[in-house]
Amino acid sequence: MKTRPSTQRGNHWNWKGGRKRNAKGYVLVLMPEHPNADSKGYIYEHRLIMENILGRYLTIEERVHHNNRIKDDNEPSNLRLFPSESDHEKFEHSCGNKHSNRGKHYNVGEDNPNWRGENPE
C-alpha cells in the first residue's frame, strides 16, 4: 500500500487540521518546525499560547497551568506560567482543590505587571 507524503495531509479523509487530543485531554498542535515539538512534530497548544503571549519560547522547565483545571480550555486568561515543575507542584499542594494566588507564578493579563514574562521580583 502506498503512503501519502506529509504535504498531502489535508487531502486525507481523517485529517483534522493538525490538532488532536491526547489521552489526558490536552490539545496538541502539529508544528514540526517548533524547537520543542515531540518526535512526531506535536506541541501542547497551551504552551504555544503562552509563548505567543510572552513573545518567546518557553524553557523546558517552565510549566503552564490551567486555572480552571479544564485541560482543553486554552484561553489566555485561564493560563498561568510557573518557572518550574517544583513551583507548580507547590502551588497545587498548597491549594488542594482551591485556586489561590499563593506560590510563585505569573498571571496572564494586563493587571499584572509581569504578564509579558518579566520576573516578579
Segment 4-34, tens digit of pLDDT: 455 566 777 777 778 999 999 999 999 999 9
Condensed to tens digits (0 to 9), the pLDDT of residues 78-101 reads 999 999 999 888 888 887 644 444
Residue 1 lies in a domain: no
- Counting every residue written for the chain, the total comes to 121
Residues 6+ apart with CB under 8 A from 87: 63, 103, 104, 105
* 64 neighbors 47 (Cβ within 8 angstroms): yes
Residue 121 lies in a domain: no
Question: The domain containing residue 102 runs over which residues?
Answer: 45-107
Joined together, the cell numbers standing for residue 21 give 487530543
Residue 75 lies in a domain: yes
pLDDT over 80 (residue 75): yes
Residue 21 lies in a domain: no
Residue 19 lies in a domain: no
pTM of the entire predicted model: 0.69
**How many domains does the chain divide into?**
1
Helical H segments across the chain, by residue range: 45-54, 85-95
Residue 93 lies in a domain: yes
